[in-house]
Amino acid sequence: MTDAAALPGQPRGGVLSGPATERAVNVLAPNASAMTLDGTNTWIVAEPDSELAVVIDPGPLDDTHLRSVLDTAEKAGKRIALTLLTHGHPDHAEGAARFADLTGTRVRALDPALRLGDEGLAAGDVIGLGGLELRVVPTPGHTADSLCFHLPADRAVLTGDTILGRGTTVVAHPDGRLGDYLDSLRRLRSLTVDDGVHTVLPGHGPVLEDAQGAVEFYLAHRAHRLAQVETAVEDGYGTPAQVVAHVYADVDRSLWPAAELSVRAQMDYLSEHGLI
């Protein structure tokens, strides 16, 4: 979800489709909308000198898009050997089973219901394929099953919907929880400080070359929104719908249902901490 009233200072985006780093190429799905921005980013990740590739988030069930991902890999001399999911929302995962049919690959995800094959994903997993190394970073908050993938060789992190290339994301209550999301952002900040990650390869929107700036922007935005929600409740706006109409008045109304999910998550967080 994007937020038209985002705080100033969000890092500017770069590459939207095509090669983004030495090892990562984006194939943009044709599902642009207010919620998905320019569309879902499907990532092909491989070592330059390897014929094996990983695909992260095949995207929607759109045969033209799925075949485009396959064609892009084949033109680069790559064979897709594994499919990974950042989370289970349909714009990222709906096409996974069909893509597995096209490629003969396993599908690995945190949620067992999304897996095809015996292997899942868990904190600390290191995925190695053809010399490629991807590290699994649990980042619940947008959803309970959200993951990011750290690509150390490119000093990059693939963030799914945890950080977007433009605007901000929804905390999809009740599955998504704000406390979890804030912890996940701090975990990503540690990657930028301790591991030198500087590039965000998001699930929607352009690549961000200032990963630390992006994380700090998201943390500041969440603190700002949380303060607005707390004040709104104190001023008598008692229901999530009332808070949305007051706090998100400058946001496109088509995004209000998603905003209400985030508001519910924020109200739960404030209640849990005795602030409302």
Average pLDDT value for residue range 254-276 = 97
Range of the domain at 28: 18-210
CATH number of the domain within which 59 lies: 3.60.15.10
Residue 139 lies in a domain: yes
Tokens at 207, concatenated: 């690549």
pLDDT score of 22? 98
The answer to the question of residue 37 being in a domain is yes
Q: Is 234 exposed, middle or buried (0-12, 13-18, 19+ CB in 10 A)?
A: exposed
Domain membership of residue 221 (yes or no) is: no
Please say if the pLDDT value at position 3 is more than 60: no
DSSP 229-262: HHHHHHTT--SHHHHHHHHTTTS-GGGHHHHHHH
Closest CA to 42 of 32, 52, 57, 53: 57
Residue 269 lies in a domain: no
pLDDT of residue 39: 98
12 has a pLDDT exceeding 70: no
Structural domain includes residue 244: no
Q: What is the pLDDT of residue 14?
A: 76
pLDDT of residue 15: 74
pLDDT tens sequence across 138-182: 999 999 999 999 999 999 999 999 999 999 999 999 999 999 999
Inside any domain, residue 122: yes
Q: Tell me the pLDDT tens digit for each residue of 16-64.
A: 889 999 999 999 999 999 999 999 999 999 999 999 999 999 999 999 9
Q: Evaluate whether 2 touches 164 at the Cβ level (below 8 Å).
A: yes
In a domain? residue 263: no
The answer to whether residues 149 and 155 touch, using CB atoms and an 8 Å cutoff, is no
Per-residue pLDDT at 6 exceeds 80:
no
Q: Are 178 and 266 in contact (CB under 8 A)?
A: yes
pLDDT above 80: residue 102: yes
198, 222, 202, 201: which is closest to 210 by C-alpha?
A: 198
Give the pLDDT score at 16.
Answer: 84
pTM of the prediction? 0.94
Cα separation, 210 vs 176, in Å, equals 26
> Could you tell me which residue, 124 or 15, shows the higher pLDDT?
124
Count CB-CB contacts under 10 A for residue 16. 17
For helices 178-194 and 256-272, angle between their N-to-C axes, nearest 10 degrees: 90
**What percentage of the chain carries pLDDT values higher than 90?**
93
Lowest mean pLDDT among 133-137, 228-232, 234-238, 248-252: 248-252
**How many whole angstroms separate alpha carbon 155 and alpha carbon 229?**
36
Given pLDDT bands bounded at 50, 70 and 90, which one contains residue 10? low
Mean of all residue pLDDT scores within the chain: 95
Report the half-sphere exposure of 224 (CA within 13 A, side-chain side).
Answer: 14
The number of folded domains in the chain is 1
Q: Tell me whether residue 88 is in a domain.
A: yes
Residues constituting the chain: 276
